[in-house]
Amino acid sequence: MKVTLELINQMQSQGVIGRYAIGGAVGATFYLEPAATFDVDVFVILPTTQSGSLLSLSPIYEFLTARGGRVEGEHITIGSWPVQFLPASDDLEKEALEQAVPTEVDGVRTWVMTAEHLVAIALRTGRPKDDARVLQFLETAVVDREQVESILIHHGLLPKWERFQNKYLEK
């Protein structure tokens, strides 16, 4: 992971990407016990070029393949980790990047989404494994539930939260 993050940081310092943060299962591992995962999800802000132009992941792929990255489907493997770059596509993801927590892996600086944003994004995604992760966050009490609810309200996700509560928490 050290090599992976060093290259991502290098990409950031050269302006290929803007702010970034680790989300998904690896992000959740920052707060919870480790759970097996195949890849690492990196949410990124892509620098805008001309107004109205489509944002593209091509500069990321070009940068990384020139430095040994291997494209495999929707991932690019850097070091030993397949990475999926996910451009922040809405206000929730942009907010998650703005509020991401700085940390380090083996001395390399990186950012991880807050537990509350990981919960909100997992709740919105809503696959069984996302639901399981939300439950894990709630059981281990590493999230501020008021903060989660505030995020969910702000981003129109309260109906999803209510459905989740009905399904898992109120039986």
Partner 1 sequence: MDKQAWRKRMASLTFSEKIRILEKLRERSLAIAASGLRKNPPKGR
36 or 54: CB nearest partner 1: 36
Q: Cα–chain-centroid distance for residue 38? A: 14
C-beta of 24: minimal distance to partner 1 in Å?
A: 5
Distances (CA, A) of 27 to 36, 52, 61: 12, 31, 22
CA dihedral 129, 46, 154, 24 (to 10 degrees): 20
38/93 Cα distance (integer angstroms): 22
C-beta of 97: minimal distance to partner 1 in Å?
A: 17
26 or 60: CB nearest partner 1: 26
| Contact set with partner 1 (CB under 8 A) | 1, 24-26, 29-34, 36-41, 80, 84, 103-106, 112, 140, 142
C-beta of 96: minimal distance to partner 1 in Å?
A: 15
24 or 69: CB nearest partner 1: 24
97 and 19 Cβ atoms separated by less than 8 Å:
yes
29 and 81 Cβ atoms separated by less than 8 Å:
no
31 or 161: CB nearest partner 1: 31
C-beta of 103: minimal distance to partner 1 in Å?
A: 5
For residue 20 the two structure tokens come to 């970034």
C-beta of 110: minimal distance to partner 1 in Å?
A: 9
Residues 6+ apart with CB under 8 A from 2: 79, 105, 106, 107, 108
14 or 144: CB nearest partner 1: 144
